[in-house]
Homo-oligomer: A and B are copies of this chain.
Amino acid sequence: MLFEREIRTSGKGLVDITAVIRDVLSESRLAEGLCTVFVRHTSSSLVIQENADPAVLRDLEAWFERAVPENDALYTHTDEGPDDMPSHVRVALTATSLSIPFSEGRLMLGTWQGVFLWEHRSSPKRRRVVIHVAP
């Protein structure tokens, strides 16, 4: 079963989409199986990270900002802005698809795990995510 959802972002940073996936899973009415999330973009990606302390998300963003800086003399693809090529590198380093098992109609995430869409562009975007649910 396939579902498509739009996620609004507000510049670089992680957006918790766990509730979106939970709602889709509930709508599917399946009890047990695998839920796969796919982001249809090359400048935003997916990660599973801690859902408790927001400092974790800020530190993650800061680490990636330093490791993959804007205005790096290395880049030749610069037409789409200083945040574009770093976005592509960050997408390569993280995930475009993620699979999460579910049981008794509930995602089998660990206690501290949340699913996040990671926006790598500086300006707000509307991102499309496809969710596949199967036994």
Contact = CB atoms under 8 A, between A and B. Distances in A.
Interface of A: 2, 4, 32-34, 36, 38, 40-42, 47-50, 53, 55-56, 58-60, 62-64, 66-68, 72, 74-77, 79, 85, 88-89, 91-101, 103, 108-110, 112-113, 128, 130, 132, 134-135
Contacts of A33: 132, 134
Contact of A130 (B42, B95, B101): B101
Given A74-B66, A76-B55, A134-B34, A48 B96 contact: yes
Dominant SS among interface residues on chain A: mixed
A94 B94 CA distance: 7
Contacts of A108: 2, 4, 38, 40, 130
Contacts of A41: 110, 112-113
A86 to B, nearest CB: 9
A112 B95 CA distance: 16
Nearest to A96: B48
